[in-house]
Structure 1
Amino acid sequence: MSITWVGTILILEDAFSELANVLEDKGYKIIKAKTAKEALEMALEEKPDVIITNVFMPGMNGFELCRFLKSHPSQAKAPILICSTTNQTSHLVWGRKQGADAYLSKPYTAEELLNAIQLVEIN
């Protein structure tokens, strides 16, 4: 019998309502941010267990957000999952260099999302 750990997830995503519903159904507490600036503030205040971000956003992109959070002492160990419509190896590699723990290309299923979250939680 496997025990699944359930925690708090900060979602900064353009389709976060769909993501949030799937994750809340699995018992996760969801914190939603609409901009990278808002996500930074929430991450530093709430200290979520996992952060999910999109790549393309106005102002600061997901790679910049990832790099900033991974350089901040209170969030350096928080797993970050980047979700993007861009399925390019260069984005995956760049995301990893910025500190992302996983990269998921859209479209993805709820099962793929949950598997990715569980993998970053374990690592």
Structure 2
Amino acid sequence: MIKILVVDDNHTPREVICEALKQFNIQVKEAVNGVEATKILEAEQFNLVITDVVMPEMNGYELCRWIKTNPATGKIPVIICSTKGEDFDIHWATKQGADAYIIKPFKTMELLKTIKYLLKHNV
């Protein structure tokens, strides 16, 4: 079974993503910030991480960098999902190791196609 960690300090978008994933039999775990996410990632294995950018304690860019530089988690694909849609934001996410960037609001199928692609190609 596919297992995805969804990280967002805002309850509503986190819930929307989680509910969409659960409809496709994807196991979901939630975190409200990057610090909580790192603790979860140290304790459990995931196939993919979806994270917002703007969060307290540790933002999505910092979380992505932590995931990609940690030997235990470095191969986990990371999707950054944010309202920040400028070219600089996308470029910076890529520099931190993000495998994909989706701008909110998004269509559920766009997210699912991105997840499927990343898992299939083991990016």
2:87 to 89, 94, 111: 89
2:31 is aligned with what amino acid? A
What is the aligned partner in structure 2 of residue 12 from structure 1?
A: 7
Structure 2's unaligned 5+ residue stretches are none
What is the aligned partner in structure 2 of residue 113 from structure 1?
A: 111
1:84 is aligned with what amino acid? S
TM-score of the superposed pair, with normalisation by structure 1: 0.92
After superposition, the CA RMSD in angstroms is: 1.0
Structure 1's unaligned 5+ residue stretches are 1-5
Shift, 1:119, TM fit: 1.8
What is the aligned partner in structure 1 of residue 29 from structure 2?
A: 31
TM-score of the superposed pair, with normalisation by structure 2: 0.92
> For residues 7 and 19 of structure 1, what CA distance do their matches in structure 2 show?
15
Percent identical residues: 35
Segments ≥4 residues shifted beyond 6 Å = none
2:96 is aligned with what amino acid? Q
> For residues 37 and 90 of structure 1, what CA distance do their matches in structure 2 show?
24
